[in-house]
Amino acid sequence: MHKTPSLLLVLLGSTPGVETDTSQEIDDDTTPIPSQVEAAIRADTYTRWVFEVDAVGGRTLDAETSTAIPQILTQLVDKPDGIAFVSDDVLEGQLLWDDAALRAIAEATFDDDAGTDVHSTHVMLLDGTYTTPNVLGVAWEHTHVVLFTDAIVSFCAFGPGDADRVCPLVERGVLLHEIGHILGLVNTGLPMVTDHEDPDNSYHDVDSDCIMYWAYERDGIVQYVQNQWSNAPDLGFDESCQDDIAAIRLR
């Protein structure tokens, strides 16, 4: 069984000002999977997956993030022509981002012009903070992802560990978590083979060793990396998440 997810997904479930419909449960056998989710997982129509990256001036993804995440996803989804991050537009920044501002900038800047056989996902690297300040990333409509890069730096720059090592790992973890929502994981559009949703934190995995755990989109991911800063964290999608993706990929 899966519920209709919030339009805007953040760590810890629902957020003030964002509507969450939990009033209806729909049988997995009859509920259509969102087209964007199938497009990301299968190769029927789209054989390549491109992440179109728009960024407020000077902000870029860490080079290892741009390499590591496609390697992870290649093991999960069917994209024979590859997966890549492609830099695109320079965005205007602002100090505070609410839901309306995020939707507006996404609609104005997502080009989705990589080609007819290419599935595109929009990634925006923004300055400032979200209306919930310790939220480091959000995703919605199985299409748009935001990383609040200033917030990531402000959280990861303090505490144990080398900030130059911690910050890129935090960025990678938050981005992978949001891509999990893009893929519909944990009751956000992709049916669960076995129930692994945290009953206390909707749309997040109950397993703290999974990147879809509720704490890994806020400062929880910072604390995790800082506590293990001498070793790259091995947080990824757990077996339950992998099974959910495989069920659609192999269907």
Q: Assess if residue 202 is contained within a domain.
A: yes
Q: Assess if residue 9 is contained within a domain.
A: no
Give 3-state DSSP helix, strand, coil % of the chain, rounded to 5. 35, 20, 45
Give the CATH number for residue 175. 3.40.390.10
> Domain of 76?
35-246
Q: Assess if residue 237 is contained within a domain.
A: yes
pLDDT in tens, 23-38: 222 233 445 799 999 9
DSSP 129-170: EESSTT--EEEETTTEEEEEHHHHHHHHTSSSS-HHHHHHHH
CB-based contacts of 198, cutoff 8 Å, min separation 6? 204, 205, 206, 213, 214
Question: Total structural domains in the chain?
Answer: 1
Q: Assess if residue 125 is contained within a domain.
A: yes
Q: Assess if residue 26 is contained within a domain.
A: no
Q: Assess if residue 14 is contained within a domain.
A: no
Quote the CA–CA distance of 154 and 176 in Å, as a whole number. Answer: 20
pLDDT in tens, 153-200: 888 877 666 678 788 888 998 999 999 999 999 999 999 999 999 999
Q: Assess if residue 162 is contained within a domain.
A: yes
pTM of the model: 0.86
Burial class (CB in 10 A: 0-12, 13-18, 19+), 241: buried
pLDDT in tens, 193-223: 999 999 998 999 999 889 998 877 765 677 6
- Alpha helix (H) residue ranges in the chain: 35-41, 63-74, 99-109, 149-156, 163-182, 219-227, 239-249
The pLDDT value recorded for residue 155 is 82
pLDDT higher at 230 or 3 = 230
Q: Assess if residue 1 is contained within a domain.
A: no
